[in-house]
Copies of this chain bind each other. A is one copy, B any other.
Amino acid sequence: MPSRPDADDPRLGDISEGRILQAILSRTVQGTHTLLGPGDDAAVIATPSGSVVATTDTLVHGPDFRLAWSSGYDLGWKAAAVNLADVAAMGARPTALLVALAVPRDLRLSFVEQLADGFREACAALAPGCAVVGGDLTVSDVLTVAVTALGDLEGRAPVTRSGARPGDVVAVAGELGHAAHGLAVLFGRFREDGVPVPVDPSKLATGERAALSAQLRPSPPIGLGAVAAFTGATAMMDVSDGLALDARRMAAASGVTIALDGAALGDDPERAIAGGEDHALLATFPEGLLPPGFRIIGEVRSAGDEDLLCDDRPVDVSGWDPYRDWDSVSG
């Protein structure tokens, strides 16, 4: 996005909360499930099937994103996408987002405007009809975007992590390892003395552009969550911390062993197994029930010594843990 002259793009600390909110709300559309939108103490969202799915996930400047690499638009898009994926992973259709924004006073208004654009367009692309219905704006030294996503099961039972049964196939919809590839490109090529610097697109090969996009603006297959539930998925979750860690969680919750087929994991199975943040949908189905959009990557076996196998060998990679893995640099 072209940057505006500073005089036309004030720092948030120099303008009123009302002006910031007005800029955000003018970029927000009405969702199809919204009975009462922003502007009151709370929003009201339709839940025709008698229950609501609810999840929350936060992006914090530093461990979760760097401003040298992510625009406001990227950040809004990603904050929407990761929360929509959690709703989809229950087998629900996303209906509404609430956005709690804590912003430093020296941030520019244009950043928040782009953020609102990113939220709106991620919803339009990934979960049509879903929209931001409410939020909160406060000041903080650390830019923080806490999102809650709501969804409707449309009469279906929720698909939990604990329903995988021996004999089921293990399948995935969406990418595995692309977001991690993008992160590796960013960490490997766009830092100077350890500090993130802006991406120079001319230095990217084609596959790297796609990987960067997967990292900065992920597009999980949100609509396939409801399809999987409708088809009869026995367990489902989104892959946020890496296939190794998340498949292990599903195996433990279900009391089974998940056995992956390395040949089904693409060109770089190691990255596909270890890399997080793609938010693909990992699901198990009774044999013969695979819906379009899902591909088989393994099978469910009775519980053995290991929760997770790949090509019949134990898997010893783990996923991303901000307590252990964040290098404390923000940038």
Contact = CB atoms under 8 A, between A and B. Distances in A.
Interface of A: 12-13, 15-17, 35-36, 39-48, 50-58, 60, 62-64, 85-87, 89-90, 92, 96, 98-100, 102, 105, 133-136, 138-142, 144, 146, 148-151, 153, 158, 160-161, 236-238, 253, 321-323, 326
A330 B102 CA distance: 15
B96 A41 contact: no
A259 to B, nearest CB: 23
Given A35-B51, A50-B46, A41 B146 contact: no
Contacts of A105: 323
A40 B153 CA distance: 15
A138 B64 contact: yes
- Could you say which of A48, A89, A136 has the most chain B C-beta atoms within 10 Å of its C-beta? A136
B17 A41 contact: no
Contacts of A51: 35, 44-47
A132 to B, nearest CB: 11
Contact of A138 (B16, B52, B63, B89): B63
- Could you say which of A40, A44, A105, A133 has the most chain B C-beta atoms within 10 Å of its C-beta? A40
Contacts of A136: 56-58, 146
A195 to B, nearest CB: 17
Contact of A146 (B35, B50, B56): B56
A-B pairs with lowest CB-CB distance, top 10: A146-B146, A42-B55, A148-B148, A47-B47, A41-B89, A100-B146, A41-B86, A56-B98, A142-B142, A58-B100
Given A138-B63, A142-B142, A52 B45 contact: yes
Contacts of A42: 53-55, 86-87, 89-90, 92, 149, 151, 158
